[in-house]
Amino acid sequence: MSSDKFTHFNQEGRARMVDVTDKVDTVREAAAHGKVCMKPETLRLIKDHGFKKGDVLGVAQVAGIMAAKKTGWLIPMCHPLFLTGVDIRFSLKDEGTVEIISRVKTTGKTGVEMEALTAVSAAALTIYDMCKSVDKDMEIKDIFLVEKTGGKSGHYRRNNDERLDG
């Protein structure tokens, strides 16, 4: 395909930040999912606040929020956005999994999908960092966009995903 069909490339075929000047501000929201798989004993330590570094999920939540706010600085072609809301939820599964859902919201000219994905990623990395002293075999998995609303492309929901319904 020629580079003129993609808005992220200039006339020379090189990457550029898309010009959103003429786009209309709309309410935009995105949710992303990720998980950290670990030994059941590691999950028990998280539940019991047994890590000397502190409250694992509390720190991971703050890390996810901070990362969402800095996405435009981390991902080269992302626009720095004024976020109006960021929420991170954790679901602890007995088999040794922490599921993470982030929800990010703004009113603006461009979507917040990357901010939601970055929030989940940073929260997962923080869980790994805080727990690695007892479980280096942890795996960060299944990071993906669950849902997005707003903008020209409208509403998207991954395969009627039910993770957001609870």
**Per-residue pLDDT reduced to its tens digit, 140-166:** 999 999 999 998 888 999 986 666 665
> Domain map of the chain by residue range?
24-151
Torsion of CA 64, 156, 26, 144, to 10 degrees: 20
Active site residues: 129
**Residue 32 token pair:** 């992303």
Residue 82 is classified by DSSP as -
CA dist., res. 151 & res. 147, Å (int):
13
Q: Check residue 127 and give its pLDDT.
A: 98
**Per-residue pLDDT reduced to its tens digit, 133-147:** 999 999 999 999 999
CA-closest candidate to residue 66, choices 118, 141, 128: 118
Query: How confident is residue 4, by pLDDT bands cut at 50, 70 and 90?
Result: very low
Which helix (H) or strand (E) is 145 found in, with range?
A: strand 139-149
Phi then psi for residue 14, to 5 deg, are -100, 155
Phi then psi for residue 161, to 5 deg, are -55, 135
State the fold for domain 24-151. Alpha-Beta Plaits (3.30.70)
- Tell me the average pLDDT across 102-120: 97
**Residue 151 token pair:** 């903008």
Q: What is the pTM of this model?
A: 0.90
**Per-residue pLDDT reduced to its tens digit, 23-38:** 889 999 999 999 999 9
CA dist., res. 5 & res. 25, Å (int):
24
**Per-residue pLDDT reduced to its tens digit, 36-88:** 999 999 999 999 999 988 999 999 999 999 999 999 999 999 999 999 999 99
